[in-house]
Chains A and B, each alone.
Chain A
Amino acid sequence: MFDFVGDQYEQILFSSWQHFSLVVQCLILATLLAVVLAALVYRSSALTGIANSVSAIGLTIPSFAFIGLLIAPLGFGVVPAVIVVAFFATLPILRNAVVGLSGIAPSIVESARGIGMSRFRTLLQVELPMAWPIILTGIRVSAQMVMGVAAIAAYSLGPGLGGFIFSGLSRLGGANSLESVLTGVIGVVVLALILDLLLVGLGRLTTPRGIRV
């Protein structure tokens, strides 16, 4: 095991970085997407219901099947990996963003409107900042989940630690195959822990004292 890690040291670091970068970029994309979607739907109970169903049902799609389906039209490479990771990352964030936005007391929104804030300004300066801690919780859930999804997305020959897992599994029993799989799995877990710590730090920095619990 140590020999394997020692030999593949640079490759592991590079793949880890690629994996991490894929996840973080997809999370940013997913957050933007989810917040915009949530802002569009949260004021209508019908649309909110649809959004919640979509995020619930979406999470039941097996990620392996999804990436397989995407390879057919899009081919191998980074694009299907990004789509799959971003898709799964969006769902928990969307759900939390909708919950966070619709959980704000109507009196707060009314007072914002009453002192002359436009609808958009109210959303930007009052509702989103107040919903931010809940949205961030969604981002943390997403981050944990898509770390694993990103490993599976390596099936499309996308970047990341998934490569170690798939190459190890494909020649199980062969030299260093188990080490390869374990390296991938442990790497993913370590990355997930690091990212979660970073997100906790981000939460501390971006949540005003007034709404910290």
Chain B
Amino acid sequence: MSEFISSAAVVSTNTDDSATRPGITGASILLDHVTKRFPGQARPAVDGLTMEIPAGKIVMLVGPSGCGKTTTLKMINRLIEPTEGRIVVDGDDVTDMNGDTLRRGIGYVIQAGGLFPHMTVARNIGIVPKMLGWDTARIATRVDELLELVSLDPALYRDRYPKELSGGQQQRVGVARALAADPPVLLMDEPFGAVDPITRLRLQDELLNIQEELQKTIVCVTHDFDEAVKLGDWIAIFNEGAQLEQYDTPERILGDPANEFVENFIGSGAGLKQLTLTRVADVALSDAVVGNPGEQATDVLARVVEAGHGHAVIVDERRRPIQWLSVRQLGRLETIGDVPDPKLPVVGKHATLNDALDTMLVSSAGAALVTGRRDMFKGVIDVQTVMDAITRSQTAAVLESDQAPVGLNTGLFQAQTAAAGADPSEAVENGADAQAVQ
């Protein structure tokens, strides 16, 4: 990023924390009093928006259709040029630099991936590195690396064309393409809008996994509030003209909506939605008695009785759960079989409590098995654990985070600063004044 921004005028306004915090490869973004007026429209699509996007976080832009959220997103990489205001990426003013150069340094994912149908998967992914002048060998290595990252087998998918992929696979390649040149910022415009609900959930989980590894700054537009709650570290709720109604953590938006508009937007079931905020990995799991195929059922039964449990989990040689046997089932068996039970209630450790609860309700045991990396068995989650987690998150939501990023619209901003009696240190206006004096 920094290598191409060096040519642009450097205006360091915000303290850049991306360099100091280890692990984060993302860059902070600042929209500074950004306005967009489209010709022939009376009201601006985006009206004096100031918004800080912290490095290494996922920020979700949500709001009703036509509220200016997509326009806001596209102004970050200047696919739409702002009428007024400045865009600052990683402390560098990018408002006047070459748009194509800027966009090569920012990942961009659209609905259905936006893949080029006449290019293979490998060429699609390699297109930005190629524009940046990488050599062929380096591009090929990078392509395979990225396909691995988005869980597609390079040998199988490298030479396929987009039409030979499913919708979810196309979307994955779209994400891989956006990440190809390792950009610090990833912009996503309704990325999972065109895939079926089950694939969408999987893609969302994968995005979270990727983000855990890469720590990019991700700005994502969606109209699906549940998606925003699931993915976002911060959620910005917009009203018409990109009026920022609330910019806060999902916990606080659900627990303490700023106004009626936000309440209506959240819709009913805010309590249930809070379940989607906590992940299985964040709660304490119960232990379970573990058995292996081939063991004598009586041995396992003895261990279950000794531990005072009702069930034993049977895992295969790679510790993946294959059966979950009750005391009664164990009593009827002689040796433990190795046939996997297809109806096993299993959730991943990144699944939300909502998913876990859903799995539990349909399982006969009233609990679910939790698996971690490579589907290895980690523990058991039950309804009581979920209840405890809800209580805790409700108390936590009331506390305001002191790290909250700034998000304002101009009118509000001026009113606040005037009330505080402070001099509104607006870079844009100061610049204009300075020019007027000269």
Residues of A within 8 A of B (CB): 107-108, 110-118, 121, 126, 129-130, 208-211
User: Are B163 and A210 closer than 8 Å at their CB atoms?
Assistant: yes
Chain A residues within 8 Å of B117, by CB:
108, 130, 210-211
User: Are A210 and B118 closer than 8 Å at their CB atoms?
Assistant: yes
User: Are B112 and A115 closer than 8 Å at their CB atoms?
Assistant: no
Chain B residues within 8 Å of A107, by CB:
110-112, 114
Chain A residues within 8 Å of B116, by CB:
108, 111-112, 126, 130
User: Are A111 and B108 closer than 8 Å at their CB atoms?
Assistant: yes
Chain B residues within 8 Å of A112, by CB:
114, 116
Known: A107-B114, A110-B114, A113-B103. 4 other contacts (CB 8 A): A110-B110, A112-B116, A115-B103, A116-B128
User: Are A115 and B127 closer than 8 Å at their CB atoms?
Assistant: yes
CB B179 to nearest CB in A, in angstroms, measures 11
Chain B residues within 8 Å of A209, by CB:
161
Chain B 97-130 interface mask (CB, 8 Å, partner A; 1/0): 0001111111110111111111110000001100
Closest to B162 in A: A210
CB A110 to nearest CB in B, in angstroms, measures 7
User: Are A114 and B118 closer than 8 Å at their CB atoms?
Assistant: no
CB B76 to nearest CB in A, in angstroms, measures 11
Q: Determine the main DSSP class of A at the interface with B.
A: helix
The 8 tightest CB contacts between A and B, nearest first, are A111-B114, A210-B161, A116-B104, A114-B108, A116-B103, A208-B118, A211-B118, A118-B100
Closest to B128 in A: A115
User: Are B118 and A115 closer than 8 Å at their CB atoms?
Assistant: no
Cβ of B79 < 8 Å from any Cβ of A?
yes
Closest to B77 in A: A114
Cβ of B178 < 8 Å from any Cβ of A?
yes
Chain A residues within 8 Å of B174, by CB:
111
Q: Once bound together, how far apart are the Cα atoms of A107 and B171, in whole Å?
A: 14
* Contact A110 to B128, CB < 8 A, known contacts A129-B118, A130-B118: no
Q: Once bound together, how far apart are the Cα atoms of A117 and B163, in whole Å?
A: 22
Q: Once bound together, how far apart are the Cα atoms of A77 and B107, in whole Å?
A: 58
CB B69 to nearest CB in A, in angstroms, measures 16
Interface centre among B101, B104, B116, B131 (most CB of A within 10 A): B116
Interface centre among B107, B117, B131 (most CB of A within 10 A): B117
Size band of the B side of the interface?
20 to 34
User: Are A117 and B131 closer than 8 Å at their CB atoms?
Assistant: yes
Chain A residues within 8 Å of B101, by CB:
116
* Contact A114 to B110, CB < 8 A, known contacts A129-B118, A210-B118: yes
Q: Once bound together, how far apart are the Cα atoms of A208 and B116, in whole Å?
A: 11
Q: Once bound together, how far apart are the Cα atoms of A112 and B110, in whole Å?
A: 11
Chain A residues within 8 Å of B114, by CB:
107-108, 110-112, 114
Q: For chain B, residues 240 to 278, give those with C-beta under 8 angstroms from any C-beta of chain A.
A: none
User: Are A113 and B120 closer than 8 Å at their CB atoms?
Assistant: no
Cβ of B86 < 8 Å from any Cβ of A?
no
CB A179 to nearest CB in B, in angstroms, measures 49
Q: Once bound together, how far apart are the Cα atoms of A115 and B79, in whole Å?
A: 10
CB B261 to nearest CB in A, in angstroms, measures 30
Cβ of B350 < 8 Å from any Cβ of A?
no
Q: Once bound together, how far apart are the Cα atoms of A108 and B119, in whole Å?
A: 12
Chain B residues within 8 Å of A113, by CB:
79, 103
Residue B119 contacts which of A110, A114, A210 (CB distance < 8 angstroms)?
A: A210
Q: Once bound together, how far apart are the Cα atoms of A157 and B74, in whole Å?
A: 60
Cβ of B311 < 8 Å from any Cβ of A?
no
Q: Once bound together, how far apart are the Cα atoms of A112 and B131, in whole Å?
A: 12
CB B234 to nearest CB in A, in angstroms, measures 23
Cβ of B177 < 8 Å from any Cβ of A?
yes
Chain A residues within 8 Å of B118, by CB:
126, 129-130, 208, 210-211
Interface centre among A111, A115, A121, A210 (most CB of B within 10 A): A115
CB B351 to nearest CB in A, in angstroms, measures 31
Chain B 29-62 interface mask (CB, 8 Å, partner A; 1/0): 0000000000000000000000000000000000
Chain A residues within 8 Å of B131, by CB:
116-117, 121
Residue B102 contacts which of A108, A111, A116, A126 (CB distance < 8 angstroms)?
A: A116
User: Are A210 and B108 closer than 8 Å at their CB atoms?
Assistant: no
Q: Once bound together, how far apart are the Cα atoms of A62 and B275, in whole Å?
A: 76
User: Are B162 and A115 closer than 8 Å at their CB atoms?
Assistant: no
User: Are B79 and A116 closer than 8 Å at their CB atoms?
Assistant: no
Interface centre among B101, B108, B111 (most CB of A within 10 A): B108
Chain A residues within 8 Å of B112, by CB:
107
CB B106 to nearest CB in A, in angstroms, measures 8
Closest to A114 in B: B108
Chain B residues within 8 Å of A118, by CB:
100
User: Are A208 and B178 closer than 8 Å at their CB atoms?
Assistant: no
Chain B residues within 8 Å of A129, by CB:
118
